[in-house]
Structure formats: structure tokens, C-alpha cells
Amino acid sequence: MAPAKPKPAPHSTAADTTKAVDELMRTLEHPFKAEIEAVRSIILGADPAIAEGVKWNAPSFRTAEYFATTNLRAKGGIGLILHLGAKVRDLPPGGVTIEDPEKLLKWLAKDRAAIELADMADIVARRAALEGIIRQWIQYV
């Protein structure tokens, strides 16, 4: 039986809104700002259940819980940290299982992974793979 489709949690603070992310991006000075916007668009477009907000002073994404945070300190491009929110949860045996034929995921723990994308060309080339990973990941949140 497939996991239930996640539903976005209602925002509880002003930081849990697209307006907050828009304001952060308006004032952000970053060499990969256009790439951050591209990844933001890809993640939000991956599933209608995905909403956004600002966590850890970076664009972050949620369904029932936050599951992804943009790593603005990545050295060579844009980073994305995938996690399962603040609550400890039971995982399937072996942890989270995600099909990743392009090997985008660098596993940091059983329930946390990182993705690094070098530049806009890399983002465009790997868009479908990133969307697929996001769609799979939110099934665990």
C-alpha cells in the first residue's frame, strides 16, 4: 500500500510563507541567486502539496513538515539538504529508499541527504532527476 499523499501544513508564522521567501530572495546577495530561484521553481512545481518558507535563513520547502532546505553556503553552486523535518519518525528498515539513477544524492544519514548542482546548465540537465527525487522524498514526510 502506497503512503498517503502529503498535505501542506498551514503556515504558523510569517516565515512559513512564499511572501517571506520572496522578501529573502529580493534582498539576497549571492553569486548563484538565479540558480537558487530555478531550484525553488523546480521543487515547488514537483507536487502541488509542496509549500515554502524561510528556515535557517534560507528558502525551505514543506508538506506536512519541512523536508528540504537550500544550502546557501555550498562552495561550488547550489546545495540542497533533504531531511524529514524536526520530529523523529519511524523509518522503513534500512532508512529512506529513493531511486536515484543519476546519483544526485549524497547520503548524510539514513534520513538525510544532500544534493549539489554546479550551475544553471547542471540544473537544467538534471531537472527531471531532481523532480523525481523530490516526489519520492515527500512520501516519507
Distance separating the N- and C-terminal Cα atoms of the chain: 16
How high does pLDDT run on average in the chain? Answer: 87
Residue 45 lies in a domain: yes
pLDDT band at 129 (very low <50, low <70, confident <90, very high): very high
pLDDT (tens digit, 9 = 90+) per residue, 60-93? 999 988 999 999 887 788 999 999 877 666 666 7
Residue 114 lies in a domain: yes
Residue 9 lies in a domain: no
Residue 48 lies in a domain: yes
Class of residue 122 by CB neighbours under 10 A (exposed 0-12, middle 13-18, buried 19+): middle
pLDDT for res 141: 86
In this structure, what CATH number is given to the domain that contains residue 51?
Answer: 3.30.1460
Number of separate domains in the chain: 1
Contacts of 7 (CB under 8 A, 6+ apart): 49, 63, 64
